A and B are shown apart, each in its own frame.
Chain A
Amino acid sequence: GAVVSQHPSWVICKSGTSVKIECRSLDFQATTMFWYRQFPKQSLMLMATSNEGSKATYEQGVEKDKFLINHASLTLSTLTVTSAHPEDSSFYICSARDDAEMLPGELFFGEGSRLTVL
């Protein structure tokens, strides 16, 4: 099946620094990728939709200057948490849709990235 890989799987950083998380589709092309945030014991919250070659679409309440998304190729999207603060600590998960997949709706998820801001 389709494989989506995230890196790093976990990161600890100091408050005020920026952190970049990569999301790669390993065996398929993905024009569209999605970034989610998940707090403990809660569901996935969609942050933004990443579109290759164009600006990301952010969900209401998500600061686009805080969470920078770049989707520069059909297999890579990056999420940069800028000037991170402790409240940004969370589990960030990306997902991707296979451009060649004819069935609607299926998304494949990365392994997630645990961010801890000290």
Chain B
Amino acid sequence: GQQLNQSPQSMFIQEGEDVSMNCTSSSIFNTWLWYKQDPGEGPVLLIALYKAGELTSNGRLTAQFGITRKDSFLNISASIPSDVGIYFCAGAVSSGSRLTFGEGTQLTVNP
């Protein structure tokens, strides 16, 4: 089946640093989504990407839909303590299809 490889698995950074994480797939996705999950909560949608090559920002977050449609990255600039959490990428083949999730990136921000 489809798999998403997300890296890194975890990151420990200082407040103010920039962060980058990415997801790769062996198959094509037509939608890429990035979610953040806080402990004991459900995932919250951060950014949605619908077009190959698309670059989208949401505040300090920027995500890109890879031109091959097999990868995506998420950047967080000037990290702050509340950025702590698990970030998941997710891909969908079509509008009615299920989401395939990456394994998650655990982000820790030291003040």
Instruction: List residues of chain A with CB under 8 Å of any chain B CB.
Output: 1, 4, 6, 32, 34, 41-44, 46, 49, 91, 93, 95, 103-112, 114
Interface string of B65-104 (1 = CB under 8 A from A): 0000000000000000000000010101011111101111
- Pairwise interchain contact B42-A111, C-beta atoms closer than 8 A: yes
Q: Which residues of A contact B95 (CB under 8 A)?
A: 103-105
Q: Are A103 and B48 in contact (CB under 8 A)?
A: yes
Who on chain B is nearest to A93 by CB?
B42
Contact B98–A104 (Cβ < 8 Å):
no
Q: Say what secondary structure dominates the interface of chain B.
A: loop
Q: State which of B40, B88, B98 has its C-beta within 8 Å of the C-beta of A49.
A: B98
Q: Cβ of A105 and Cβ of B31 under 8 Å apart?
A: yes
Asked if A44 and B44 sit within 8 Å, CB to CB, the answer is no
Report whether B45 and A112 are in contact in the complex, using a CB–CB cutoff of 8 Å: no
B88 partner residues in chain A, CB cutoff 8 A: 43-44
A-B CB proximity, top 3 nearest = A104-B95, A105-B31, A105-B92
Query: Which of B41, B42, B98, B101 gathers the greatest number of chain A CB atoms within 10 Å?
Result: B42
